[in-house]
A and B are shown apart, each in its own frame.
Chain A
Amino acid sequence: RKEVEQDPGPFNVPEGATVAFNCTYSNSASQSFFWYRQDCRKEPKLLMSVYSSGNEDGRFTAQLNRASQYISLLIRDSKLSDSATYLCVVKNGNNRLAFGKGNQVVVIP
């Protein structure tokens, strides 16, 4: 089983709609969780951390379910500029960071 699994998509989303996707992780002892955004031909950049109680940053909401070992990201009121690949990242011991394959989001006008 891979450390971090994501359905690559693509997720084609009409502008203004809501899109959500999950990421599962295999190591129950994983410590921290993040969503990174990667634009085409660019390096990944931190979008948001994921906290146990769930957290929101503007139109983005992240949630963690430790019992089922998954995290989720929801994007409300999608903008064209949200088109990107969203990478799920899990931090284990020794600051080891494992990335998923990414969820590709395409916002359609």
Chain B
Amino acid sequence: EAGVAQSPRYKIIEKRQSVAFWCNPISGHATLYWYQQILGQGPKLLIQFQNNGVVDDSQLPKDRFSAERLKGVDSTLKIQPAKLEDSAVYLCASMLRRGEKLFFGSGTQLSVL
């Protein structure tokens, strides 16, 4: 079974630049999550989709972060403009609609210089 695919694996940018991450969840998984994990912290939920609708984006810094899941399958997360404190691993995860187990991708490690 194919897992959650994320790209790129690493990204280095300068502050005020823009960056985008891509995620393809496991086929059939209706729920998709983007988490931000800063070193030494647990994953923090940024946004949760159910199919192509947003369920929870209460912790998404909407002045600079945006995410979409237009066809209810793959998703992109964008940061524009990036700040130093955005340096983190961005994890995408998916789950069946009535599932219990969360499947994570390998993450994108972002360094903002």
**A43 and B31 in contact (CB under 8 A), knowing A96-B55, A100-B42?**
no
Q: Is the CB of B42 within 8 A of A95?
A: no
Residue of A with least CB distance to B95: A95
Which B residues touch A102, using CB under 8 A?
41-42
Q: Are A97 and B42 in contact (CB under 8 A)?
A: no
| B105 and A49 form a contact (CB under 8 A) | no
Contacts of A44 in B (CB 8 A): 43, 91, 102, 104
Residue from A34, A94, A101 in contact with B55 in the complex, judged by beta carbons closer than 8 Å: A94
Report if B100 contacts A (CB, 8 A).
Answer: yes
Contact between A99 and B56 (Cβ–Cβ < 8 Å)? no
Cβ-based interface call for A108 (8 A): no
| Residue total for A at the interface (Cβ-Cβ under 8 A) | 24
Residues of A close to B55: CB separation below 8 A? 94-96
User: Which residues of A sit under 8 angstroms from B105, Cβ to Cβ?
Assistant: 43
A-binding residues in B (CB < 8 A): 31, 33, 35, 40-45, 48, 50, 55-56, 91, 95, 97, 99-102, 104-107
A94 to B44, CA, bound (A): 17
Q: Measuring CB to CB, which residues of chain A are less than 8 angstroms from any residue of chain B?
A: 4, 6, 8, 32, 34, 36, 42-46, 49, 87, 89, 91, 94-102
Say whether B50 contacts A99, CB under 8 Å.
no
Whether the pair B100, A32 counts as a contact (CB closer than 8 A) is: yes
Q: Is the contact region of chain A dominated by helix, strand, or loop, or is it mixed?
A: strand
* Residues in chain B near residue A97, CB distance under 8 A: 33, 45, 102
CB within 8 Å for A43 and B100 given contacts A95-B55, A97-B33: no
Q: How far is the CA of A91 from the CA of B96 in the complex (A)?
A: 14
Known: A94-B55, A95-B48, A95-B55. A46 touches B102 (CB 8 A): yes
> Would you list the 5 A-B pairs with minimal beta carbon distance, nearest first?
A43-B104, A99-B42, A101-B42, A99-B43, A46-B101
The answer to whether B101 and A101 have CB atoms under 8 Å apart is no
Q: Is the CB of A94 within 8 A of B102?
A: no
B93 to chain A, nearest CB (A): 8
The reply to whether A95 and B31 form a contact with Cβ atoms under 8 Å apart is yes
Sample of 6 further A-B pairs with CB below 8 A, known A32-B100, A34-B100, A96-B48 = A36-B102, A87-B42, A94-B55, A95-B31, A96-B45, A101-B40
